[in-house]
Amino acid sequence: MKKRWHFEQLCVGIAALCLVSAVVEAGEEEASWYSVEENVIMTLVYEKKELGAWEQELAKKENKNLEDVLTLFQLALRCGRTDDALSALELFPNENSPVIASELVSFCRNQHAPASIMQRYLELFPNGIMQLGEIPPEIYADWDDEKLLAWIEEQIRKTENHESLPPWYQPSLRWSQLRLDQLTRMGRVQDEIKKWSQEAIDNPTDSEATLRVLRALSWLLGRTGHNWAPKFEDESLNNLAWLKKSLPSLGALDAFESAETLSRLGYDDLAILFMEDALERRLTEGEIKRYQSHFSALLSAEMYELFFRCSCMERFSKIYLKQEKKDEAQKWMLAAHEFRKKHNITGTYHFAGAVQAATGERVVEKEILEKEELSRDDPQYWRDRAEYYEGRKEWELCKDALLHGLELCPLSPEIIAAGKDYNNLYKDLSPRDQKSYAMRPGFLRDLVRVCGNLNQGEEATKLALDELRAHGGSDYANWTIGILASNSELFDPTDPIYWEWLAQDKKWGYYGERLLKAIFSAEKRRGLPSSFERAKALALAPDAHPARANILGEILHVRDGSPYSELSKSFEMSVFLFQEAMRRSEGFEEWDLRRINESASANLLHTWIQLKDHKKAEEAFLLGSRALVGWEKTGWLTRIRDIAVKNGDTEAATRLDRRLHNISWMQFPEK
C-alpha cells in the first residue's frame, strides 16, 4: 500500500506541474519555490535590496506573476507581516498548490511562522494534503478538535464519488484515513469503528459498509507498528465473525485485501474464508485498474488475472504456515507452483524452498534435480535452483548452483574489448551473450553474499578480485569495487589491481571514493606507509578530470579515511585540491563540470571555516554557497560571523551581522 501511495503522490505532482504551465504567464514556468527562495536569500545576503523595502515594493506591484507572489509571501513572512503573507496566499494559483505544499510547510516550520498561515493555506488548497501526507500538527493549537474534524469531513464529502478521477487516485479514501488519525487523537476511534461495525452487521449486503471497517482496521494496524485489534465490550463485535455475512457482497480484490488485513490482525480462520471467496471470483474491469497499480509494467487483463490467482494461492500457503498447518501450506504452495508452470509465469523458487524447509518436504527439489540433465547449460535453471536452496537456507547447495550459473555466463570478448562502451554493444549481441550480460552480475553478487553466510570471506574476496581482473577495464565490473572496499577485514591495500582501476577510471566518483577511503584506512590500521602521494599524482595528472581532485579533497575531511593524523594538515591539503578542481572546471558550460565546480567551491568554503579563516571563508561564500540550500546559507554565514568575532575582526563581524540581519526573520507580533 505504501508503494502505491508514493506512486499516487508522484502522479499528482506531475499533473500539478503540467497544470501550472497553463495558468502562469510566458516565462513563468521556471519559477519554483526553491528558485525563488534562492533568489531571495542571495539578494538579501548581498544587500542588493533591503528586506522591508523590497516587501513593500512587491506588495504595491500590480499584475503579479507567480514568481512575484512566491517572493512576496516569503518576504512578508520574513518581515513578520502575517496579514501580507495571508494576502499573498490568496494569489497562489490553485493548480500549483500540491507542488509547493511540502516546501511551504517546511519553510513555515523552520521559521516558526504563525499557525494561521498553514491553516489558511489548507483552507484554500486542501489537496495540498496529498503532497504532505499529513495535516501539519502546528494548526492544532488554533483549531480545536471538533473544527478540524468537521473540516476533514467536509473534504471527504467534496471528493467522494468523483467520477473524473483515475482509479488509483482516491482522495476521499486518503481524507478518511486522516479522519481516523484525528479520531484517534480525540480518543474516539474505537467508538467510530464500533458504530461502523454495527452498520455493517445491520446491512450485510452493503459492501462499502464492510470495507469501511476493514480499511479502518488496516490503516490503524499500519499506524500502530504492531499487531493491534479492536477491543469492544460486545464480544460479537470483538471476534469479527459477523464479517462472514458480508462475503457475498465483496468483489475479488476487496476479499483478497480484506483477507490480508484479517490475517495481520490474527483472525486467520476468517482470513481463509475471505481468501477462498477471492479465489473463486474473477477480477472486474474496475478491479484490474486498481490491481495494476501494484505492477511496474503494463500487462494484459488476462495476465493480471493470472497473477492475482497465483497470489491468492501463495497467501493461502503463508496463512497455513503461520498456523503451523504444514500439509495445507504444502498443498497450496504446490498449487501455486504448478499454476506458474502451466501459465509460464516466472516462478518464486525461493518461496517454495522456504515452505518446504518448514514442512520437511522435498517435492520441488526432486523436480529441480530431475530437470538438470536437460537444463544443465541454461543459466536460468541454476538461478531457480539457487533460489530454492536459499529459501531452504541450505547455503552450500545454493553456492554450488550459483557457481554453475556464473560459469555459464561468460562475457564475450566483444564486451571485454569494448571497455567503457559496452552498453552500446548490447543490442548487437547474440541472445546468449545478452543473457550472460544480464545475469552475470546477479550470480556474482549473490555468491559473495552466500559466501558471507558460510563465513567464507576470503573466497568472496577472491571471486570479486577475479571479476575485477578479468573485466576491470570496463564499467561492467566496477560495482565489485564496492564489495571489496566494504570487506575491511580481508581488504589488502597493497594489491596493484586497485591502482590500475583508479588509473583508468576517469572521475572516480562513488566507487573511487569508497576505494580510496578503504585503502587509506587499511594502511593506517596495518601501520603501512601512506599511498596518498600516489593518489594525489593521479588526481593532478595533466589529463585528469577535476572530479578526482574534488573527491580526494573530500576524503581528507574524513577522520578515518584521511591519511593525515593531524586534521589541520588534512584541511590545508584539501584547500589546494579544491582550488585545483575549481581551476580545471572554471568557465565550462557542461553540466557535469559546473556541478564539480560548485561542489569544490562549497567544499573550499567548508574548509576555510574549519581552518577558522573568516576572511577567506567570506571570499569563498559567494561561489560556494551555490551548492547550499537556503537555510544552510544562513547557517554558514552565521558561522563565518562567529569566527570573525572570535578573531577580533570587528569590521568584518559588523558587515556580516548586517547581512544576517537583512536575511533574518523579524519577530512576529504577539496575538
Highest mean pLDDT, choosing among 10-19, 79-88, 509-518, 638-647: 638-647
pLDDT band at 643 (very low <50, low <70, confident <90, very high): very high
More confident residue, 170 or 601: 601
pLDDT band at 235 (very low <50, low <70, confident <90, very high): low
Taking residues 627-640, what's their average pLDDT?
Answer: 82
Q: What is the pLDDT of residue 323?
A: 92
* Distance set, CA 238 to CA 189, 193, 242, 529 (Å): 15, 11, 10, 70
Q: What is the pLDDT of residue 187?
A: 84
Q: What is the pLDDT of residue 27?
A: 38
Taking residues 598-610, what's their average pLDDT?
Answer: 91
Q: What is the pLDDT of residue 135?
A: 79
Task: Tell me how far apart the alpha carbons of residues 490 and 487 are, in angstroms, rounded to a whole number.
Answer: 6
- Which residues lie closer than 8 Å to 650 by C-beta, 6 or more apart? none
- Judged against a pLDDT cut of 90, whether residue 566 lies above it is answered with no
Per-residue DSSP letter, 24: S
Residue spans of alpha helices (H) in 527-590: 532-539, 546-555, 567-585
Q: What is the pLDDT of residue 99?
A: 62
**Which of 401-405, 599-603, 627-631 is predicted with the least confidence, judged by mean pLDDT?**
627-631
pLDDT band at 593 (very low <50, low <70, confident <90, very high): confident
Backbone angles phi, psi at 314, to 5 degrees: -70, -35
* Grid cell at residue 51: 528586506
- Which residues lie closer than 8 Å to 297 by C-beta, 6 or more apart? none
Task: Tell me how far apart the alpha carbons of residues 385 and 468 are, in angstroms, rounded to a whole number.
Answer: 26
**Which of 159-168, 215-224, 631-640 is predicted with the least confidence, judged by mean pLDDT?**
159-168
- Judged against a pLDDT cut of 50, whether residue 597 lies above it is answered with yes
pLDDT digits (tens, 9 = 90+) for 250-308: 889 999 999 998 898 888 998 999 999 999 999 988 888 888 877 877 889 999 999 99
Task: Tell me how far apart the alpha carbons of residues 335 and 364 are, in angstroms, rounded to a whole number.
Answer: 12
* Distance set, CA 18 to CA 15, 102, 171, 238, 271 (Å): 5, 18, 19, 48, 43
pLDDT band at 98 (very low <50, low <70, confident <90, very high): low
**Which of 3-17, 97-111, 551-565, 567-581 is predicted with the least confidence, judged by mean pLDDT?**
3-17
As a whole number, the mean pLDDT across the chain is 82
Distance of CA 37 to the CA centre of its chain: 25
Q: What percentage of the chain carries pLDDT values higher than 90?
A: 32
- Judged against a pLDDT cut of 60, whether residue 322 lies above it is answered with yes
Q: Residue 109, Cβ neighbours under 10 Å: how many?
A: 13
Q: What is the pLDDT of residue 473?
A: 66
pLDDT digits (tens, 9 = 90+) for 169-215: 566 777 888 888 888 888 888 888 888 888 988 888 888 888 888 88
pLDDT digits (tens, 9 = 90+) for 470-506: 876 666 677 788 888 887 777 889 999 999 999 988 8
- Judged against a pLDDT cut of 90, whether residue 64 lies above it is answered with no
- Judged against a pLDDT cut of 90, whether residue 136 lies above it is answered with no
Identity at 287, one-letter amino acid code: E
**Contact assessment for residue 268 and residue 260, using Cβ atoms and an 8 Å cutoff:** no
Please, what's the b/e burial string for 553-575 (b: 16 or more CB within 10 A of its CB; e: otherwise)?
bbbbbeeebbbbeeeeebbebbb
pLDDT digits (tens, 9 = 90+) for 444-477: 889 988 998 899 888 888 888 888 888 766 666 7
- Judged against a pLDDT cut of 70, whether residue 557 lies above it is answered with yes
Q: What does pTM read for this prediction?
A: 0.71
Identity at 228, one-letter amino acid code: W
Task: Tell me how far apart the alpha carbons of residues 586 and 578 are, in angstroms, rounded to a whole number.
Answer: 12
Distance of CA 181 to the CA centre of its chain: 24
Closest CA to 86 of 57, 126, 52, 114: 114
Closest CA to 312 of 285, 350, 283, 355: 283
* Distance set, CA 643 to CA 510, 578, 606, 631, 656 (Å): 33, 22, 13, 19, 11
Task: Tell me how far apart the alpha carbons of residues 175 and 151 are, in angstroms, rounded to a whole number.
Answer: 10
Q: What is the pLDDT of residue 141?
A: 73
